[in-house]
Amino acid sequence: MLRLAREKGTLTVVNDQVGNPTSAVDLAYQLLLLGASTEKGIFHCTCSGEPVSWFDFASRIVSVAGIDIPVHGCSTAEFPRPALRPAYSALDNSRLRSTIGDSMRDWNVALDSFMEKYLILEHVQ
């Protein structure tokens, strides 16, 4: 999103698809905990917090980065992709919580943490 925002000066992102953004850092940590446990099976491991549209997520990313560009919302029909995407893809970590515990942060907190580190590294390079 940051690269597109800087290159294009504007973003158009679907506003009718909602899900849970997931931090790779949080997911890796949670997977290490799962791997060290005796639990088996399928677990959902997504960041907590209110599910969000791709439009709202992109808007938050450019805002935190301090990029002042317009972010426009559009429907899935207006932004066709080769693979169909569900309108609502938020997952529930209830199995995780009821077994080893859910250490996934709120996606806003995870995004802020990532952006702080990413933007610092970006300025160093």
Render pLDDT for 2-36 as a digit per residue (tens, 0 to 9): 999 999 999 999 999 999 999 999 999 999 999 99
What pLDDT digit, counting tens, does each position of 29-83 carry? 999 999 999 999 999 999 999 999 999 999 999 999 999 999 999 999 999 888 9
Helices (H), the chain: 2-8, 24-36, 54-65, 94-98, 107-124
Instruction: For the domain made up of 2-124, give the CATH fold.
Output: Rossmann fold (3.40.50)
Neighbours of 41 (CB within 10 A): 7
Say which residue the tokens 């000066």 belong to: 9
